[in-house]
Structure 1
Amino acid sequence: MISIDLSNKTALVTGATGELGRVIARTLAQSGANIIIHYHSNETKAKQLQQEIEQLGQQAFIVQADMGQLASVQRMQAQVAEQFQLPDIVVANAVSQYKWTSVLEQDVADYVDQFNTTVLQLVHATKAFVPHMIEQRGGRVIAINTECAMQNFPTQSAYVAGKRGMDGVCRVLAREIGEHQITVNQVAPGWTISERDRLSGTERSDGYDSQVPLRRRGTDQEIANVVAFLASDLASFITGAYVPVSGGNVMPTI
């Protein structure tokens, strides 16, 4: 029987305390991985997640860092190397929130913020953790992108600019480090149902759902399942891919 087996692997999930990050971390742990839980400000949620992962029988280690600042990420790397174990899998999931509006109205600082938390997050994580993967001749880098990067709808400009920039870094990085058997891929969710939606009863959105070929929003678990697949040996010959998990709402063409 084929199964996703991440036994003896360690995964770093950035933004692990967020709605999607928590599900990704749990799913990788359920697949056998030990988890490095990165958080920016929500230490309480990080500790709760650590307890959940340990209850699954896996090790969990909490680290704090500002992923947009290289010195902060380097401190995190040193802490992980000294007190835990360097990751075989890096999931670049962290993202900052801001108010979406038109290009004419959007604060320039929002573009800088999105660049820092998408493009530079990936660059900093690469500099900090990929050298270890090169040494061990293998690893996985998985970046969380978005269907918005293909849609380019009004008010999305800062978010799309950051995510499309991250896409470019991913594709170049895949070519640069592929010889070391390190894969670099992107998972691009649509508008995802999260724990917050389940608690508030907002799982359905008829206007959005009607435009999706599968006629529904995807779930956080469905996104995490694809991350786990790409992290596993089942995806050992996939690199440089942008994988929409959007029910067909966006379809890259040849």
Structure 2
Amino acid sequence: MSVTNSALTLDLSGKVCVVTGATGDLGRVMARTLARCGADVAINYLRNAEMAQTLAAEVRELGGRALVVQADVTQKESVDAMRDLVHAELGVADVLVNNAVIQYDWTSVLEQSVADYESQFRSCVLHNVLMAQAFAPAMIARGAGGRVIGINTECAMQNFTSQSAYVAGKRGMDGVLRILAKEIGEHQITVNQVAPGWTISDRDRASGTEHNEGYEKNVPMKRRGTDQEIANVVAFLASDLSSYITGAYIPVCGGNVMPAI
């Protein structure tokens, strides 16, 4: 099934998409959405094997091929092993969705542990470096282009108190991906970032916490976005419709942050 409107179709039929952190709140919706557009999906997880298998079954029900891959995206050997399995089972990846990130407790710069800064460097910066080094050479050799999509955050522009480790990681990721866009653009491989706001997920729906007045009052659209709205932008960037967009940081946050020229 493809995602359509009256004029355009997001058709990812025959495309191999690798989604890291695919079992997370946002990752699972992105994996399903790519599958609904016709893609085959490699579902990366670290610990939640049960959810990974559930997602794989959903992808197959939608008509796509699915591969479940356990890998730690902060470790080169693990990422390289994931690449080898994807290539062997699904073929050369067309689309990378670098979504995984390590969760931690936020506090002030003066109190945040060094380990938290290191974890954010590894899961934001090194994660994207390792995925590019593992998968991009085969994309280049094939000569058919490709897509790299990093999941960033509106926090990278806000710089609020207690966000320092997260923002440091995401801003470092931003620099890596902008340079990568310049380095591999000649091969028709685009590199872009999607930056969600505070997004409504299934966890919110289950607990009835979809709304937060303190946050929503500052958002021009006066609401929080949904996981599906984030996934829709990822699917667009994965498609041929985005073929001349690269190096972009795209907030999907109802206007809560607005990059300036």
| TM-score band, normalised by shorter chain | over 0.9
**Residue aligned with 1:140, SS:** strand
Report the CA distance between 1:79 and its aligned residue: 1.7
What is the rounded CA distance, in whole Å, between the counterparts of 1:19 and 1:9 in structure 2?
23
Report the CA distance between 1:170 and its aligned residue: 0.5
Report the CA distance between 1:53 and its aligned residue: 0.9
What is the rounded CA distance, in whole Å, between the counterparts of 2:89 and 2:243 in structure 1?
29
Relative to structure 2, which stretch is displaced further, 103-112 or 128-137?
A: 128-137
Residue-by-residue CA offset, 1:192-225 (whole Å, 9 max, x unaligned)? 0000000110000000000000000000000000
Relative to structure 2, which stretch is displaced further, 116-125 or 79-88?
A: 79-88
Between the two proteins, the alignment pairs up a number of residues equal to 254
What is the rounded CA distance, in whole Å, between the counterparts of 2:139 and 2:78 in structure 1?
20
Q: Which residue of 194, 198, 201 maps to 2:201?
A: 194
Paired position in structure 2 for 1:183: 190
1:80 aligns with 2:86: yes
Relative to structure 2, which stretch is displaced further, 59-68 or 73-82?
A: 73-82
1:152 aligns with 2:165: no
**Residue aligned with 2:74, SS:** coil
Q: Indicate if the aligned counterparts of 2:83 and 2:134 stay in contact, CA closer than 8 A.
A: yes
Fraction of identical pairs, as percent: 64
What is the rounded CA distance, in whole Å, between the counterparts of 2:47 and 2:253 in structure 1?
29
TM-score scaled by structure 1? 0.99
**Residue aligned with 2:10, SS:** coil
1:58 aligns with 2:64: yes
Q: Indicate if the aligned counterparts of 2:87 and 2:93 stay in contact, CA closer than 8 A.
A: no
Report the CA distance between 1:126 and its aligned residue: 0.3
Q: 5+ residue gaps in structure 2?
A: 1-6
Paired position in structure 2 for 1:28: 34
Letter paired with 1:157:
S
TM-score scaled by structure 2? 0.96
Paired position in structure 2 for 1:70: 76
**Residue aligned with 1:36, SS:** strand
What is the rounded CA distance, in whole Å, between the counterparts of 2:82 and 2:193 in structure 1?
23
RMSD of the alignment, in Å? 0.7
What is the rounded CA distance, in whole Å, between the counterparts of 1:41 and 1:129 in structure 2?
22
Paired position in structure 2 for 1:234: 241
Paired position in structure 1 for 2:4: none
1:223 aligns with 2:230: yes
Q: After the TM superposition, which residues 104-143 of structure 1 pair with which residues of structure 2 at under 5 Å, given as runs?
A: 104-137=110-143, 138-143=145-150
Paired position in structure 2 for 1:5: 11
